[in-house]
C-alpha cells in the first residue's frame, strides 16, 4: 500500500459511496419520525426542522467497510467501540427531543452596553436568559427599560455533564477489555498506564468532536481532513492496517459532508459526534499514531480548552463554544467553517512535512 497506488483509497471510496447511499434513506426515516432539530442559538433558528441523528448513516457506512475488511483487527475493534459510543450519543439525542425549559431571549434596546448575567450586551444585541444570574437580573432590567423580551425558545433536555463523562468512560472500557491496547505507545513502554491513556483518549476525542458539531459541515469536514491525514501518516510509517481504518473514517466523513455542508439537510447529532470521536481515538491508540492524531485535531482540542477556561471563569466568552462566539462577533457561519477546515488542513500538512523532514 502506497500513496501512488489507486487501490490504497478503496476503503475511502467504499465508505464515501456507502454513506452517500445510506444518508437519504436515514434522512427520510428521521423526517417521517419527526426527529428534527430545534436550535437554541438565535442565528440558527432557520435550521429548525432539519433531521438530526444522521450519524446513523455514518455507522452504517463504517459497518459495511468493516464487513468487507473483516480481517482488519483495528478496523473491527474501532467499529465496535464506535457503535457503543453511537448508542450513548443516541440516548442523548433522544433526550434532546424533550423540552427541559423555556428560556427568554432579551434584546438591548438602549444606546449603551447592558450587563445581563455574565454577558455584556451591546446596543441591539440579543441573548438567551440562561444563567441563574441573568434570570435574577432580567426583570429589573426590563422595568428599567434597558432590555426587552423579544421571544422565548425551548431548551432541550440532555444528559448532565457527569452522566456524559461517565458514559464516555464506559465507552472507553469496551476498548480496554478488548485486550488490544498496546503497552508500547509512541516508542515508550508505558505498561498499564496505557489503560488510563486509552480512557482519556476516547473521552477526550468524543468531547472534542461533540463540541465542534455546532455548525453545518464543521465536525464532518474537520474530522474528514484529520482522518485522511492520519491515513497518509500511517501509510508513510508502514502502519497499513490502521491506514485502512482512517481511510474508511475519512470516507464516511466526506460522504456525510455532501448532505451536511451549508445549508445542511441533515445533522449528525450526538449519535454521529460520539461515533466519530470513539472510532478516531480507538484507531489512533491501536495503530500507535496517537501523537500525530492529537496534532491533527488540534483545532477541536483548542476549542475544548477555551470552553474549559470559560467554565472555570478564567476567561469570559459571550457565547460558548468558540465557533458560536465568532458567529456572535459577526463572522458568518460559512467563514467560520472554512476557517476551521483550512486551519486543520494547514496543521496536518505541516505535521506531515515535518515527519518527512526528520
In whole angstroms, what is the distance from residue 343 CA to residue 23 CA? Answer: 28
Looking at 49-53, 133-137, 213-217, 238-242, which range is the least confident one? Answer: 133-137
pLDDT at residue 1 in the model: 66
The domain spans of the chain are 6-98+158-357, 100-155
Q: Quick count: other Cβ atoms within 10 Å of Cβ 139?
A: 11
In whole angstroms, what is the distance from residue 223 CA to residue 273 CA? Answer: 10
In whole angstroms, what is the distance from residue 220 CA to residue 37 CA? Answer: 17
pLDDT at residue 204 in the model: 96
pLDDT at residue 357 in the model: 73
- Give the dihedral sign, CA 342/56/273/177: negative
pLDDT at residue 108 in the model: 85
pLDDT at residue 288 in the model: 94
Q: How many CA atoms lie within 13 A of 293 on its CB side?
A: 29
3-state SS string over the chain? CCCCCHHHHHHHHHHHHHHHHHHHHHHHHHHHCCCECCCCCHHHHHHCCCECCCHHHHHHHHHHHHHHCCCCHHHHHHHHHHHHHHHHHHHHHHHCCCEEEEEEEEEECCCCCEEECCEEECCCCEEECCCHHHHHHHHHHHHCCCEEEEEEEEEECCCCHHHHHHHHHHHHHHHHCCCCCCCEECCEECHHHHHHHHHHHHHHHHHHHHHHCCCCCHHHHHHHHHHHHHHHHHHHCCCHHHHHHHHHHHHHHHHHHHHHCCCCCCCCHHHHHHHHHHHHHHHHHHCCCHHHHHHHCHHHHHHHHHHHHHHCCCCCCCCCCHHHHHHHCCCCHHHHHHHHHHHHHHHHHHHHHHHHHC
Upstream peptide bond of 263 is cis (omega within 30 degrees of 0): yes
pLDDT at 45 over 60: no
197 vs 118, more confident? 197
Report the DSSP beta bridge partners of residue 105.
128, 151
Calculate what percentage of the chain has a pLDDT beyond 90: 65
**What would the pLDDT profile of 319-344 be if each residue is shown by its tens digit?**
889 998 898 888 999 999 999 999 99
**What would the pLDDT profile of 81-101 be if each residue is shown by its tens digit?**
999 999 999 999 998 887 777
**What would the pLDDT profile of 14-31 be if each residue is shown by its tens digit?**
999 999 999 999 999 999
**What would the pLDDT profile of 66-85 be if each residue is shown by its tens digit?**
999 999 999 999 999 999 99
The three three-digit cell numbers of residue 29, written as one number: 426515516
* Mean pLDDT, all residues of the chain: 90
pLDDT at residue 23 in the model: 97
pLDDT at residue 39 in the model: 62
pLDDT average, residue stretch 38-57: 74
**What would the pLDDT profile of 183-235 be if each residue is shown by its tens digit?**
989 888 999 999 999 999 999 999 999 999 989 999 999 999 999 999 999 99
pLDDT at 159 over 60: yes
pLDDT at residue 231 in the model: 97
pLDDT at residue 5 in the model: 66
pLDDT at 62 over 60: yes
59, 82 Cβ separation under 8 angstroms: yes
The three three-digit cell numbers of residue 81, written as one number: 467501540
**What would the pLDDT profile of 287-310 be if each residue is shown by its tens digit?**
999 999 999 999 999 999 999 998
Calculate what percentage of the chain has a pLDDT beyond 70: 95
Amino acid at each position: 500500500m502506497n500513496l501512488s497506488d489507486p487501490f490504497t483509497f478503496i476503503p475511502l471510496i467504499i465508505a464515501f459511496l456507502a454513506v452517500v447511499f445510506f444518508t437519504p434513506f436515514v434522512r427520510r426515516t428521521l423526517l417521517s419520525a419527526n426527529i428534527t432539530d430545534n436550535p437554541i442559538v438565535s442565528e440558527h433558528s432557520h435550521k429548525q426542522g432539519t433531521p438530526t441523528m444522521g450519524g446513523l448513516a455514518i455507522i452504517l457506512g463504517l459497518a459495511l467497510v468493516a464487513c468487507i475488511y473483516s480481517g482488519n483487527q483495528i478496523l473491527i475493534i474501532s467499529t465496535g467501540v464506535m457503535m457503543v459510543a453511537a448508542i450513548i450519543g443516541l440516548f442523548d439525542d433522544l433526550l434532546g427531543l424533550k423540552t427541559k425549559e423555556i428560556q427568554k431571549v432579551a434584546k438591548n434596546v438602549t444606546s449603551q452596553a447592558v450587563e445581563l448575567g455574565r454577558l455584556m450586551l451591546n446596543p441591539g444585541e440579543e441573548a438567551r436568559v440562561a444563567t441563574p444570574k441573568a434570570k435574577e437580573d432580567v426583570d429589573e432590567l426590563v422595568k428599567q427599560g434597558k432590555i426587552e423580551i423579544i421571544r422565548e425558545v425551548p431548551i432541550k433536555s440532555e444528559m448532565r455533564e457527569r452522566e456524559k463523562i461517565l458514559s464516555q468512560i464506559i465507552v472507553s472500557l469496551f476498548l480496554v477489555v478488548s485486550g488490544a491496547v498496546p503497552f508500547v505507545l509512541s516508542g515508550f513502554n508505558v505498561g498499564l498506564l496505557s489503560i488510563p491513556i486509552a480512557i482519556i483518549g476516547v473521552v477526550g476525542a468524543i468531547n472534542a468532536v461533540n463540541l465542534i458539531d455546532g455548525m453545518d459541515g464543521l465536525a464532518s469536514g474537520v474530522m474528514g481532513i484529520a482522518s485522511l491525514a492520519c491515513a497518509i501518516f500511517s501509510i508513510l510509517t508502514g502502519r497499513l492496517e490502521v491506514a485502512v481504518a482512517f481511510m474508511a473514517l475519512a470516507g464516511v466523513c466526506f460522504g456525510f459532508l455532501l448532505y451536511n455542508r451549508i445549508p445542511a439537510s441533515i445533522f449528525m447529532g450526538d449519535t454521529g459526534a460520539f461515533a466519530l470521536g470513539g472510532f478516531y481515538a480507538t484507531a489512533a491508540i491501536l495503530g500507535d499514531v496517537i501523537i500525530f492524531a492529537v496534532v491533527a485535531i488540534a483545532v477541536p482540542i483548542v476549542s475544548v480548552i477555551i470552553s474549559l477556561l470559560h467554565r472555570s471563569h478564567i476567561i469570559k466568552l459571550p457565547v460558548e463554544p468558540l465557533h458560536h462566539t465568532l458567529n456572535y462577533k459577526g463572522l458568518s457561519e460559512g467563514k467560520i467553517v472554512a476557517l476551521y477546515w483550512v486551519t486543520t488542513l494547514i496543521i496536518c500538512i505541516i505535521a506531515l512535512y515535518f515527519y518527512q523532514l526528520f
